[in-house]
Structure 1
Amino acid sequence: MNRSESRLTLVYNADGGWLNALKDAVWKVARPATYPCSLCALTYGYVSMHRRWRQFLAGLPQDKVFHHRDDFSLAFPDLAIPLPAILLEQDGAVPKVLVSAAELDALSDLEALVRLVEERLAHA
Structure 2
Amino acid sequence: MKIIFVYNANSGFINTVLDIGHKIISPETYNCNLCNITYGILKEKEEWKTFRESSDHELKFLHKDEFEKKYKQVREYPTILMSNKNNEFHELINKEQLNKLKSVEELINKLQNSIK
CA shift at 1:18, angstroms? 1.4
Question: 2:110 pairs with 110, 113, 116, which one?
Answer: 116
CA shift at 1:93, angstroms? 4.3
Task: Give the TM-score normalised by the residue count of structure 2.
Answer: 0.94
1:16 equivalent to 2:22? Answer no
Q: State the 4+ residue runs in structure 1 displaced beyond 2 angstroms.
A: 90-93
Question: Counterpart amino acid of 1:120?
Answer: S
Task: Give the TM-score normalised by the residue count of structure 1.
Answer: 0.88
Runs of at least 5 residues in structure 2 that lack an aligned partner in the other structure: none
Question: Counterpart amino acid of 2:10?
Answer: D
CA shift at 1:91, angstroms? 4.2
The sequence identity of aligned pairs, in percent, is: 27
- SS of the residue corresponding to residue 50 of structure 2 reads helix
Question: Counterpart amino acid of 2:103?
Answer: D
Alignment of 1:48-67 (within 5 A): 48-67=43-62
- 2:67: which partner in 1? 72
CA shift at 1:80, angstroms? 2.6
Cα distance in 2 for residues equivalent to 1:119 and 1:24: 30
Cα distance in 2 for residues equivalent to 1:17 and 1:93: 25
- 1:88: which partner in 2? 82
Runs of at least 5 residues in structure 1 that lack an aligned partner in the other structure: 1-5
Question: Counterpart amino acid of 1:63?
Answer: E
